[in-house]
Chain A
Amino acid sequence: MPSPASSFFSAVLVVDGNALNRRMAEQLLLQLGWRCGLVSSTEEALDWIVRDKWDAVLVELSLPDGSGIEAVSRLRRRVEEAGYPPPRLVAVADGGSARTRVVCRAAGIAAFLTRPLTLRDLEGALSPAPESEAERSGDPVLIQTLGGLRDMAGERFVLDLIAILAKEGPERLAEIGNVLATGNLPVAGRLFHKMKGSASSFGATELTRICEVGDDACAEGDEALAKECRRLAGEELGRVTAFLARWKEGNHA
């Protein structure tokens, strides 16, 4: 049964080199009540993207004629040139390293899905709301970690942890930004590494992932990616802090 939210999406363009994967995506989208177009390559997608106004594009990361990330930036340019509203971009892959996920996020891809696709994942990823249900309800690992820490050490302990994070997080990010501005990648890498350790200790998986990629980017001398990770870490920290504030209210209520 399509949910009320799905009525926002009238059209989804599926870009996937595998015929079976295209059909499976189509079946799920039809079940959600969405119309879809199926194409197998970047070139075909570039043609289709301006034939219709697509609300979302579901793109496979390994396309026969290049990477999905490259396809996304070309599709976005084509849509801009045509004067169409930008579609919501969703990446699909069989797996995906931390780096792939972070690079997707940096490329403006709104959601990352791994196969097998499920109705619930698809619906969440294609949702046009600025903050999806998944984002509002928070990272399941974060929720589980906070709950576990509260059960083990008490609520006061978790509230103190939230207060420390609210103070330390922005300071760390500012420090990483300052060091990156001087081009000192080894030190920036160590700072990313430290931040990864703190993020993982309270279950913030996405922030952990971004810091891990930032650390690797510094080690490889990829300054542009390191700066992108710094920006994304700021974005993610904001999201985590907002979630923690809601968690705190919910626990006091």
Chain B
Amino acid sequence: MKVLTVEDDAIVQHVLRGILTAAGHEVLPAKDGDEALRLFQDQPVDLVISAWQLPGGLDGIALCEAMRAFRIPRYVYFILVTADSITSSSYGAAVARGVDDFLPKPLDREQIPARLLVAERIIRSFSELRQVKSLLPICMYCKKIRNDDNYWSQIEAYLAEQTGSAFSHGVCPSCYEGVVLPEIGRGGASETFPG
């Protein structure tokens, strides 16, 4: 993953880089919120790890809000690095403003790669869901959907496979009028059992 690390402390920035690089991630370092926003606009970042306190006008939470405001077509996972003195109400406020996870200081070199695995899983699920929601090839007559293997399946089978959704079959009012009632009318005549 491409990880944007936002931290003005050169030592913490270096340690973060070491941990992330060793875990196979690409690191994009930024010293403050403004630089982070510039990099964020220029490059496709998957994940952001930011200090809570930052020099300049943007702190970590304001940076998260600013990034969320871009409404880009992929999910960017945002982790805030916190001090031990943070209260639970601050955590709640940070989550409400778009933060996904927190990393406590001192940075734990075992914990960070594990947290990033979770982030990767969530990002992947989001992108799969997005694929489902994006443009789907559909037959204009029978409404079957073409999947990645060039196989045409019923829309409910396709969605069940992609999203795990289950379907309860009902009848909408117009189909009831146009299809069901005529069927009942037709069936009524034949519903005579041999005596």
- Interface window among B7-15, B28-36, B41-49, B72-80: B7-15
A161 in contact with B83 (CB, 8 Å): no
A168 to B9, CA, bound (A): 9
A193 to B12, CA, bound (A): 13
Binary CB contact string for chain A from 186 to 202 against chain B (1 if under 8 A, 0 otherwise): 00001001100110111
A219 to B9, CA, bound (A): 21
Of chain B, the residue at the smallest CB distance from A158 is: B18
Which of A149, A193, A197 has its CB near the most chain B CB atoms (within 10 A)?
A197
Of chain B, the residue at the smallest CB distance from A219 is: B85
B12 in contact with A160 (CB, 8 Å): no
Within 8 A of B (CB), among A144-198: 148-149, 152-153, 157, 160-161, 164-165, 168, 190, 193-194, 197-198
List, in ascending order, chain B residues with CB within 8 A of A208's CB: 106
A148 to B106, CA, bound (A): 14
Smallest CB–CB gap between A29 and chain B, Å?
36
Is A128 in the interface zone, CB < 8 Å from B? no
List, in ascending order, chain B residues with CB within 8 A of A153's CB: 18-19, 21-22
Is B143 in the interface zone, CB < 8 Å from A? no
Of chain B, the residue at the smallest CB distance from A205 is: B106
A168 to B11, CA, bound (A): 8
List, in ascending order, chain A residues with CB within 8 A of B124's CB: none
Of chain B, the residue at the smallest CB distance from A200 is: B106
Within 8 A of B (CB), among A186-242: 190, 193-194, 197-198, 200-203, 208
For chain B, the bracket of interface size reads: 10 to 19
A201 in contact with B18 (CB, 8 Å): no
B105 in contact with A149 (CB, 8 Å): no
Q: Knowing A161-B11, A168-B11 are in contact, say whether A201-B107 is a contact too (CB < 8 A).
A: yes
B106 in contact with A203 (CB, 8 Å): yes
B83 touches which of A149, A152, A193 (Cβ 8 Å):
A193
A197 in contact with B21 (CB, 8 Å): no
A201 in contact with B22 (CB, 8 Å): no
A161 in contact with B109 (CB, 8 Å): no
B105 in contact with A200 (CB, 8 Å): yes
A157 to B106, CA, bound (A): 18
A148 to B109, CA, bound (A): 8
Is B53 in the interface zone, CB < 8 Å from A? yes
List, in ascending order, chain B residues with CB within 8 A of A152's CB: 18-19, 22, 109
B53 in contact with A202 (CB, 8 Å): no
List, in ascending order, chain B residues with CB within 8 A of A149's CB: 15, 18, 109
Smallest CB–CB gap between A247 and chain B, Å?
16
Within 8 A of A (CB), among B38-65: 51, 53
A56 to B9, CA, bound (A): 41
Smallest CB–CB gap between A59 and chain B, Å?
30
B21 in contact with A201 (CB, 8 Å): no
A161 to B15, CA, bound (A): 8
A198 in contact with B18 (CB, 8 Å): no
B12 in contact with A198 (CB, 8 Å): yes
A200 to B109, CA, bound (A): 12
B12 touches which of A148, A197, A203 (Cβ 8 Å):
A197
A202 to B19, CA, bound (A): 12
A197 in contact with B9 (CB, 8 Å): yes
Smallest CB–CB gap between B19 and chain A, Å?
7
Residues of A within 8 A of B (CB): 148-149, 152-153, 157, 160-161, 164-165, 168, 190, 193-194, 197-198, 200-203, 208
A-B pairs with beta carbons under 8 Å apart, 14 shown: A149-B18, A152-B18, A152-B19, A153-B21, A157-B14, A157-B18, A161-B14, A161-B15, A161-B18, A164-B14, A194-B8, A200-B105, A200-B107, A208-B106
Residues of B within 8 A of A (CB): 8-12, 14-15, 18-19, 21-22, 51, 53, 83, 105-107, 109
- Given A164-B14, A198-B12, A201-B15; 5 other pairs, CB 8 A cutoff: A149-B18, A193-B83, A197-B83, A197-B105, A201-B105
- 10 closest A-B pairs by CB: A200-B106, A153-B18, A198-B11, A201-B15, A152-B22, A157-B18, A153-B22, A201-B12, A198-B9, A164-B10
